[in-house]
A and B are shown apart, each in its own frame.
Chain A
Amino acid sequence: AQTVTQSQPEMSVQEAETVTLSCTYDTSENNYYLFWYKQPPSRQMILVIRQEAYKQQNATENRFSVNFQKAAKSFSLKISDSQLGDTAMYFCAFMKGGGSEKLVFGKGTKLTVNP
C-alpha cells in the first residue's frame, strides 16, 4: 500500500518570503501522479499543483513549484512571494497510475503566513 508522509505538522513564513513544504511517499509503482491540495480555513479543498511521475520537469503554477525527486521519493512544494491568502493546510497526495483514481493523502502541514 502507498503511504504519504508530511513531516512538518506546522510551518510559518513572513509575507513575501519563500517557504518549502516537504512530502515523501512510499510506493513500488513506476507510473503515478502526485498532487498538492490546499485547504484554507473555509475548508474547501483546492488543487494547487500536479506532477506526473514520468515527467522529469518539475511542475510550476505561478508562485507554486515543486521539487520532484523520483529516486528519493520526495515531492516538496515551494511557495514564492508568500501571501496572507496562502495561509491554509497543505496536503500532499499520491495517485497510482493505470486507471485508479484513488488519492492517498498525507496528514497535512498547517502553513501560516504572517504579515
Chain B
Amino acid sequence: DAGVIQSPRHEVTEMGQEVTLRCKPISGHNSLFWYRQTMMRGLELLIYFNNNVPIDDSGMPEDRFSAKMPNASFSTLKIQPSEPRDSAVYFCASSHRTSSLEQFFGPGTRLTVL
C-alpha cells in the first residue's frame, strides 16, 4: 500500500491567497483526520471524518478553514484567505475505525504564508 498521500509537500503563498491541501487516505480506511503542527501549539486535531461525514470539527480555528471529504478516497483542507499565522505543517491521517485505533499519518504539507 502507498500509505496516506498528501499534496503538495510544500506550499508557499502570500497572505490573502486561497490554499488547498489534499489528502488520499489508505484504501479501505473509513476515518480521516486533519492535524496541524506548530512549535507553539504542538500537534492539534483540526477535524475528522468517519465514512465521509465530519464527526468533530471543534479544532477548526475559524471560518477561514474548511474541510471536505467528497468520497472515501479524497479530502481537502482549504484556507481562505490565508494569514501568516497559518504557517505550519498540516498532516492528514487515516484509520480503519472498526479494526484498529492506529492512525496512519501522511508525510505532511509544510505551509508558509508570507
User: Do these two chains interact?
Assistant: yes
Partner of B50, one of A35, A45, A101, A105: A101
B42 within 8 A of partner (CB) = yes
Please tell me the size bucket of the interface on B. Answer: 20 to 34
B95 interfacial by beta-carbon distance below 8 Å: yes
B102 touches A45 (CB 8 A): no
CA distance A50 to B48 in the complex (A): 20
Instruction: Give A91's nearest chain B residue, CB to CB.
Output: B43
Interface members, chain B 40-98 (any A CB < 8 Å): 42-45, 48, 50, 55-56, 89, 91, 93, 95, 97
Give chain B's interface secondary structure class.
strand
Q: Are B102 and A101 in contact (CB under 8 A)?
A: no
The residues in A between 79 and 115 inclusive whose CB is less than 8 angstroms from any CB of B are: 91, 95, 100-108
Contacts of A106 in B (CB 8 A): 42
> Are A45 and B48 in touch, CB under 8 angstroms?
no
As a 0/1 sequence over residues 17 to 54 of chain A, the CB contacts with chain B under 8 angstroms (1 = contact) are 00000000000000001010000001111110010000
- Contact-size category for A: 20 to 34
B42 touches which of A46, A95, A107 (Cβ 8 Å): A107
Which of A43, A101, A102, A104 is the most central at the interface, judged by chain B CB atoms within 10 Å of its CB?
A: A101
Partner among B89, B93, B97 whose Cβ is within 8 Å of the Cβ of A43: B89
The one of A43, A50, A102, A108 that contacts B56, using a Cβ cutoff of 8 Å? A102
A101–B108 touching, CB < 8 Å: no
**Closest 8 pairs (CB-CB, A-B):** A45-B105, A105-B43, A107-B42, A47-B102, A43-B108, A101-B31, A102-B45, A102-B56
